[in-house]
Structure 1
Amino acid sequence: MPRITQAQKERNRDEIVRAASEGFKRRGVDGVGIKDLMNTAGMTNGGFYNHFASKEDLVLEVYRKGFAESLAAVDAIRAEHADGAQSALDAVIDTYLTAAHRDHPEAGCPSAALPVDAGRHGAAPQGAYRDGLEGYFANLTELLVQRAQETGTELAPTDARQQAVTMFTQMIGAIVVSRAVAEADGPLADEVLTASRHQLERR
């Protein structure tokens, strides 16, 4: 039986991470077993351990990769709105607080899809989640400081950090609450997102 190439091995690993990311974010970490995951990825159950020592290692990779992709999207937004911090802030908020993000957790950021899982599974997942949060906090803090400079407003870095933490945790909460009622009351779910966008963009 021929051995697989390194390139194929990397593709297989990527496929496992993709399947896990979608499954975990839609059904929770405990809602997806290794057997189901590998079936979704189109591989045998035993092949999992060729790539990961444990399910926890895979969970950490899902957090790391998911936040890396989300923060890359933030970087792209900032590059597109390099003319002003306010427009960049509004674009980040508008991109995050959407019905599409709410309705498709499998394609969205782990920040709103996996916070409860991080809280339940101990220090390692919480550390990966924290690292992702810090990436968002740093981006928003920089934008708030930049906006203050552009408008001639005084804003201490500590105050900017506090505002950034408040802003992003409100964004996470809005998505979580909107998802919690989306099927029972679509208009209310939309109202949560719209109200949050408006309030955040007025700050």
Structure 2
Amino acid sequence: MGRVSQAQAQENRERVVTTASRLFREKGTGVSVADLMKSAGLTQGGFYKQFASKEALIGEAAAHAFTELTARRATELDEHHGQQDDARQSLIDYYLSAHHRDNAAGGCPAAALAADVSRDTGDAAREIYTEGVREFAEWLSTDDEDGLARLATMVGALLLARATHGSPLSDEILHAAHTALSDDS
């Protein structure tokens, strides 16, 4: 089989990063390179031509996931005609929903990657994660409330709701956190 063009190689790399971003959020960073490449529709041999290590890919996948989160925040702002308070509340509504709880692969990287990044994923991934969390917390802050407290409530509630999924407690956790963070409270 012949060599792939630079354009095809770049497209393959982007496919691997996108696939890794979703798989790592859904299943954790323990996903094997073989399973990752199979999910991306590529052979395992191509991995090391594109990435220095799995740790390097974890950092790129985390950056990709946080970029998706940033895009979601921008979409919320557009949909609410620049009204930051309305966009913030809409994102909180989504974040603390059963849909988000049940769809980790496309969900928030702050929650999905927390346990893995707290282990040894390398300094680059931790720095990317830290910056993503900081930016999300800043976006959630208001003149009256600290975004870090809001984010910690949201991430904690999502993690607990996912861990108790299938029991009534899961929905109760989401509801309690939503009530605590609602503009109406």
Question: Which has the larger displacement, 187-196 or 59-68?
Answer: 187-196
1:130 & 1:71 partners in 2: Cα distance? Answer: 14
The Cα offsets for residues 87-137 of structure 1, whole Å up to 9 and x where unpaired, read as 222112012111111111111121110101110024332211101011112
1:179 paired to 2:178? no
1:134 & 1:72 partners in 2: Cα distance? Answer: 16
Task: Give the residue type in structure 1 aligned to 2:34.
Answer: K
| Partner in structure 2 of residue 17 of structure 1 | 17
Q: Quick one: percent identity of the two aligned structures?
A: 38
1:124 & 1:8 partners in 2: Cα distance? Answer: 26
1:191 paired to 2:176? no
| Partner in structure 1 of residue 85 of structure 2 | 86
| Partner in structure 2 of residue 133 of structure 1 | 133
Please give the root-mean-square deviation of Cα atoms over the aligned residues, in Å.
1.7
Higher helix proportion, which one?
1
1:85 & 1:23 partners in 2: Cα distance? Answer: 31
How many residue pairs get matched? Answer: 183
Unmatched tracts of structure 1, length 5 or more: 146-154
1:164 paired to 2:167? no
2:74 & 2:157 partners in 1: Cα distance? Answer: 22
How do 1:54-73 and structure 2 match up within 5 A?
A: 54-73=53-72
**Cα distance, 1:66 vs. partner?**
0.1
Larger Rg over CA atoms: 1
- Provide runs of 4+ in structure 1 moved above 3 Å: 82-85
**Cα distance, 1:83 vs. partner?**
5.6
Task: Give the residue type in structure 2 aligned to 1:194.
Answer: H
SS in structure 1 of the partner of residue 4 of structure 2: coil
The Cα offsets for residues 122-176 of structure 1, whole Å up to 9 and x where unpaired, read as 43322111010111122123xx13xxxxxxxxx5xxxx5xx11000111001110
Task: Give the residue type in structure 2 aligned to 1:98.
Answer: S
1:113 & 1:67 partners in 2: Cα distance? Answer: 11
2:83 & 2:46 partners in 1: Cα distance? Answer: 49
1:22 & 1:80 partners in 2: Cα distance? Answer: 25
Unmatched tracts of structure 2, length 5 or more: none
